[in-house]
Amino acid sequence: MKKKLELENLTFIMPGFLIYLVFMFVPIALCLFYSLTNWDGISSSYKIIGLRNFSRIFSDVSFLESVKVTIIVTLTTSIIYNTLGIATAALLNYAGRAYNFCKSAVFLPAILSPVVVSFIWAYMTQTDGGIINHIITAVGMGPIDFFASKDAIAFTVSGVIAWAAFGFFTTVYIAALKTIPNELYESAKIDGAGIFKQFRNVTLPLLTPGITVNTILSVTWGLKQYDFIKVMAPNTVQTVTVNAIERAFDYNMMGYSSSIVLVLFVSIVVISLIQIFIMKKFEVEY
């Protein structure tokens, strides 16, 4: 009887498990193996060179530059989502038609493809004929070149990414705000707390689980960023993933690019764990 049950369970598990093994586990294992070789991805011969790829990474100028861009993107977007996002959520966390309209409007860009958003914003930010500069010159100021330097590009693209995903994070914050019981605000009011004091002493501490989720998500998304940079700034600025993909497929450095994505993967895991550790300290019970 028990044997038969186990066998039945196995038929439920096997199809998914095999797909996972072949299309997820094997590639990851291969990635680990490639990172220890000097394989170009094409030829049939390669040498195992140990950890030499990893030691090369940290003196590789183009990689380090991509790290800088990735950090700019991650920090800029994360700060926007988790400050303006909370404020917007607090403003919109009411019932009514006007509020629903605003919620839907803010969320709308989050359903669009990054490729679509990038093209629209490539037009918006043009120096000559772009909408933003059109408006700026109309009020009598000089046009801004959003693509003047590598840093400028990194910040411009960060702004675009933030525009696209802002509604997503705000919606998560609105959902988190709904979990805070109204009585807490009532009793805070009775104690004579003003709006800002209520926010500081009631909202913020009870919002911590939402903040944990959103900060971790925003940092992981930032570190993995590929599409927006690839479409808006082709061949000028690279994030770590753009750098790795280009190495793998355009420069035939399979081994080396495998070690880059592994370093990225480990960084994401470590940073997320640190964030969880820090945020745990702020969480309160009520």
Interacting residues with another protein between 83 and 142 (CB under 8 A): 91-92, 96, 98-99, 101-116, 119-121, 123-124, 129, 131, 134
Least separation in angstroms between CB 278 and another protein: 19
Separate counts of helices (H) and strands (E) for the chain: 15, 0
Contacts of 262 (CB under 8 A, 6+ apart): 31, 32, 35
The SS3 assignment for 172 reads: helix
Q: Which is nearer to another protein, 128 or 183 (CB)?
A: 128
- Any contact of residue 202 with another protein (CB under 8 A)? no
Q: Which is nearer to another protein, 206 or 230 (CB)?
A: 230
- Any contact of residue 28 with another protein (CB under 8 A)? yes
Least separation in angstroms between CB 92 and another protein: 7
- Any contact of residue 46 with another protein (CB under 8 A)? no
Question: By CB under 8 A, which span of 18-26, 50-58, 184-192, 195-203 interacts with another protein?
Answer: 18-26
* Count of residues that interact with another protein, criterion CB under 8 A: 77
Neighbours of 197 (CB within 10 A): 13
Residue window 151-190: x/- pattern of binding to another protein, with contact defined by CB under 8 A: ------------x----x--xx--x---------------
Q: Which is nearer to another protein, 58 or 123 (CB)?
A: 123
- Any contact of residue 258 with another protein (CB under 8 A)? yes
DSSP 112-159: S-HHHHHHHHHHHT-TTT-HHHHHHHHTT-PPP-TTSSHHHHHHHHHH
Helix (H) or strand (E) holding 219: helix 208-224
Contacts of 120 (CB under 8 A, 6+ apart): none
Residue in the block written with tokens 């037009």: 123
Q: Which is nearer to another protein, 24 or 141 (CB)?
A: 24
d(CA 214, CA 130): 32
Binders in 207-226 for another protein, by CB under 8 A:
213, 217, 223-224, 226
